[in-house]
């Protein structure tokens, strides 16, 4: 932990969301003590401040997309910032912002992995599959499309960020906590063979076995990226989200996910997205996110052996 260098990158925008407010997420996470919590583990924390970009024009969809130009501009900035921190050997934490920003961050992570010859595993914690396309989307909100864009399905302004198309392959993704999937997405998930651990699966086999499977094959050469949409969590513990879906993981289940990721020792980048302080109660959702990040960086109740899930 002594050599760990972490960079916080604030991305204050909600251009990809239907409900406004996620633009206030970065500051809420700072107020909840995110930087201090990570520094307490002996990591060196650099707060890069907030990226700049266009304001939210609040316009309707055009050809199936809302705010495509603005979303592209923000994601380009994210890509550059995340790539720069990775190039310096640091662990970037993107403080969103809505989930459309994962296009920029994960394309940067994928590029870094290609250039350094590392394997990439993306753990996508979310209530939604985020696999919509312009023809399938009910709303045109691009925060429902990042997985499709990263896999090469979407407008070139988004799929081309990072120079290689597609940025990632579906088999590099594991989705966890999914419980709201649109009809078209259901078909598409199946066709792309995305490995999805939905809530029914978690109910049936439990979170421990689920995470063992999601982490299977992760080894010393694996770059583990966590994309944490806070709507993954049950709304009773995480009300500060624009798109709540009931029936999500409990506090302990979520903690277990993060602890098992920490056990692998391979976490190398993180997105925290969709936190909406306008809908939160006394910053409790931001504080919960900080608790989870503490576990992700190795806070445990007892001294335990590190292990790999193969
Ligand atoms: Mn999402």
> Which residues have beta carbons under 5 A from ligand 1 (an ion)?
99, 126, 130, 229
Instruction: Confirm or deny that 190 is annotated as ligand binding.
Output: no
Sketch the domain layout of the chain as residue ranges: 5-296
5-296 topology per CATH = 3.40.800
Q: Reply yes or no on whether 231 is catalytic.
A: yes
Q: How far is the CA of 263 from the centre of ligand 1 (A)?
A: 25
Instruction: Confirm or deny that 182 is annotated as ligand binding.
Output: no
Instruction: Confirm or deny that 191 is annotated as ligand binding.
Output: no
Instruction: Confirm or deny that 153 is annotated as ligand binding.
Output: no
Select which of 98, 126, 271, 287 is catalytic.
Answer: 126
Segments of 54-162 assigned E as strands = 91-96, 119-125
φ/ψ of 143, rounded to 5, equals -65, -10
Select which of 67, 79, 128, 225 is catalytic.
Answer: 128
Q: Reply yes or no on whether 130 is catalytic.
A: yes
Residue 192 makes CB contacts below 8 A (sequence gap 6+) with 131, 151, 170
pLDDT band at 298 (very low <50, low <70, confident <90, very high): confident
100-159 confidence digits (pLDDT tens): 999 999 999 999 999 999 999 999 999 999 999 989 887 999 999 999 999 999 999 999
Residue 194 makes CB contacts below 8 A (sequence gap 6+) with 129, 131, 147, 170, 173, 175
Q: How far is the CA of 304 from the centre of ligand 1 (A)?
A: 32
Reported as type and span, the H/E element at residue 79 is helix 68-87
pLDDT of residue 303: 67
Which of these, 307, 288, 271, 270, lies nearest to 99 by C-alpha position?
271
CA distance from start to end of the chain: 23
Instruction: Confirm or deny that 130 is annotated as ligand binding.
Output: yes
Q: Reply yes or no on whether 99 is catalytic.
A: yes
- Whose structure tokens read 């007892």? 302
Select which of 67, 79, 112, 143 is catalytic.
Answer: 143
Q: Reply yes or no on whether 79 is catalytic.
A: no
Q: Reply yes or no on whether 229 is catalytic.
A: yes
pLDDT band at 193 (very low <50, low <70, confident <90, very high): very high
Select which of 70, 231, 253, 287 is catalytic.
Answer: 231
How far is residue 7 from each of residues 115, 209, 285, 291, 309, measured CA to CA in Å? 20, 31, 21, 18, 27
Which of these, 95, 32, 97, lies nearest to 285 by C-alpha position?
32
pLDDT band at 54 (very low <50, low <70, confident <90, very high): very high
Q: Reply yes or no on whether 274 is catalytic.
A: yes
Select which of 185, 198, 274, 287 is catalytic.
Answer: 274
239-294 confidence digits (pLDDT tens): 999 999 999 999 999 999 999 999 999 999 999 999 999 999 999 999 999 999 99
Q: In what order do the strands lie in the sheet with 222-229?
A: 44-50, 5-11, 91-96, 267-273, 222-229, 119-125, 173-178, 195-198
Kindly tell me if the per-residue pLDDT of 160 is higher than 60: yes
Decide: 274 and 230 in contact? Cβ < 8 Å: yes
Classify each residue of 295-307 as buried b or exposed e, where b means 16 or more C-beta atoms within 10 Å of its C-beta.
bbbbbeeeeeeee
Q: How far is the CA of 218 from the centre of ligand 1 (A)?
A: 23
How many CB atoms within 10 Å of residue 27? Answer: 15
Decide: 258 and 289 in contact? Cβ < 8 Å: no
Cα-based angle 250, 42, 89 (whole degrees, multiple of 5): 95
């Amino acid at each position: 932990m002594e050599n760990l260098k972490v960079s916080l990158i604030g991305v204050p925008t909600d251009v990809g969301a239907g409900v406004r407010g996620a633009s206030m997420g970065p500051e809420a996470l700072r107020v909840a003590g995110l930087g201090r919590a990570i520094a307490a583990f002996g990591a060196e924390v650099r707060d890069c401040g907030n990226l700049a970009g266009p304001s939210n024009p609040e316009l309707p969809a055009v050809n199936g997309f809302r705010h495509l130009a603005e979303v592209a501009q923000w994601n380009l900035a994210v890509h550059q910032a995340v790539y720069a921190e990775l190039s310096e050997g640091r662990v970037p934490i993107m403080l969103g912002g809505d989930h459309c920003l994962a296009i920029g961050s994960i394309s940067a992570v994928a590029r870094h992995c290609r250039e350094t010859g590392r394997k990439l595993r993306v753990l996508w914690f979310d209530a939604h599959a985020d696999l919509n396309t312009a023809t399938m989307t009910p709303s045109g909100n691009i925060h429902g499309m990042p997985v499709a864009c990263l896999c090469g399905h979407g407008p070139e302004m988004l799929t081309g960020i990072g120079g290689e198309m597609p940025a990632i392959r579906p088999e590099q993704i594991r989705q966890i906590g999914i419980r709201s999937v649109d009809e078209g997405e259901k078909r598409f998930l199946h066709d792309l063979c995305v490995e999805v651990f939905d809530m029914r699966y978690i109910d049936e086999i439990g979170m421990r076995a689920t995470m063992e499977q999601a982490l299977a094959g992760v080894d010393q050469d694996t770059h583990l990226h966590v994309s944490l949409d806070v709507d993954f969590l049950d709304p009773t513990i995480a009300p500060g989200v624009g798109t709540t879906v009931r029936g999500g993981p409990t506090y302990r289940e979520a903690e277990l996910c993060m602890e098992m990721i920490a056990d692998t020792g391979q976490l190398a980048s993180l997105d925290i997205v969709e936190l909406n302080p306008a809908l939160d109660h006394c910053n409790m959702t931001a504080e919960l996110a900080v608790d989870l990040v503490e576990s992700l960086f190795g806070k445990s109740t007892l001294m335990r052996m590190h292990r790999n899930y193969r």
